[in-house]
Chain A
Amino acid sequence: MREFASEVPAAPPQEHGRGRSIVITSGKGGVGKTTTTANLGAALAARGARVVMIDADVGLRNLDIVLGLESRVRYHLLDVLEERVELDDALVRDKRSELLFLLAAAQAREKEDVDTAQMTALVERLRERFDYVLIDSPAGIEVGFRNAIAGADEALIVCMPEVSSVRDADRVVGLLPPAMRPQLIVNRVRPHLVRKGKMLSVDDVNAILRLPLLGVIVDEPAVITATNRGEPVALDASSQTGSAFRAIAARLAGEDVAAPAPREAGVLAKLGALFRGRR
């Protein structure tokens, strides 16, 4: 336990003050909030930022397994909120980065158990020590969602190009304080379907949501294989999705990075993937 605790960054991240608190939310479940949180966390840490991810999906803990950290989790969010353990003991350091930390959700508890004021105070505390506090919101718009957004200053909306996801994203945007200036990530786009007019395009989605577009993630098998292994695809240099997440991280950090053009998986690329054994 202690072996991780000693490595938690202690100094304030920037000379000028606190880090940014960003909630990743969507309304609808299964659109990629957790995957996005994990990959942005990994990509930001790879850029040298100190990042902590909070899994706010109490009762349905998942961020730890997506990151491959499930075996390292000893304590969880509610242990910290209810002051049973020290914050440093509950923060799990990532396997790959010394700058990336996770505060896991409680599995055997319920969302109602989280106290909003305590959650806000915790996020404030973490902002003293990290550049980014990423909060993985649960699906829905009930108490779990409200607790997840409570401490956040900014919001990222993850949306799939699909009617129910867009409708829910629209609803969630309406519930967020406008000061959070939500930005959009369109996830799991299938360019060949969009070209045939069988899927909403990114423009279609954003003509409805009208949010600053932070990035587009093409639906790619590499995400599934990476998640199978518990390795963020953002660290895979050869993956299109990985570079899309890295570009999002760069944009989030304020860099003016052009969105990489979605490249089609051609025959050669597929053959290459076959030989690389990415299955």
Chain B
Amino acid sequence: MSILVLAEHDNQQLKPVTLNVLAAAKQLSGDVTLLVAGHNCAAVTEQAAKVEGVSQVWIADAPAYEHHLAENVSALLVDLAEPFTHLLAASTTTGKNILPRTAALLGVNPLTDILAVESDKCFKRAIYAGNAIATVEIDEAKVLMTVRGTAFDPVAAEGGSATIKTLDSVFQNADISFSHEALAESDRPELTAASIVVSGGRGLGNGENFNLLYQVADKLGAAVGASRAAVDAGYVPNDMQVGQTGKMVAPELYIAVGISGAIQHLAGMKDSKVIVAINKDEEAPIFQVADYGLVADLFEAVPELQNSL
């Protein structure tokens, strides 16, 4: 048996979530091959070859793979799939875009966002906004799945010495092309990888007031997230949304400020180790999951918090 893992990267850096996916792969039986599909991504290959527990790194370097378009990467995966029993990707917007397409091309059912490996064919995943955890058994010759990074402790980034193989076949679908992108620039840690997350909701009132949270975050080395209401109201961009339909986070410390605690929001953060809620409404459901709740006006509490850090 052998396992193929699709590396998550931006052509320069191997994304940390790849190390979590490799941890899930390690719980399956078989050798692990890590595929780096990208363009001008030699630096990523170098990092990939050092990761613990990877026996081979395969590299597909071509303009067709620069933006990880599902059409091109899934065609590549289908071409490579033959020897593998499992194909894994991160449960990110990239992984979720590519993997189900690959599964359908291979004629198998995919599994989305798995949380635990019970056996080579049996896995756990969250359903109904995390209100139930399902154990599912899959009866397919190949198992294709995306993995929730926060559910697996990462393997070590160093210590491995994989052999590197360069792949030559290039797949380019003529029906789709990349036009442009607007990626958020931030010096703060990435939301899904940060050990502390400070999130704001509709209670912040406007985008400018998020500065209060940025200041606290910078003192704590934290990432900043948001509820859907804050994103919908245009206070902050969509990539900050935490929840059932946004990002799943599970940091050491999650501070929810001016967030009521709707089930869709809780789905994305209730696996955090320690939860703090600051809300002026003592009935807010967020307090039901908070380890430390502070009933207060955020416009007083947050500046005070910043001063005492």
A binds B: no
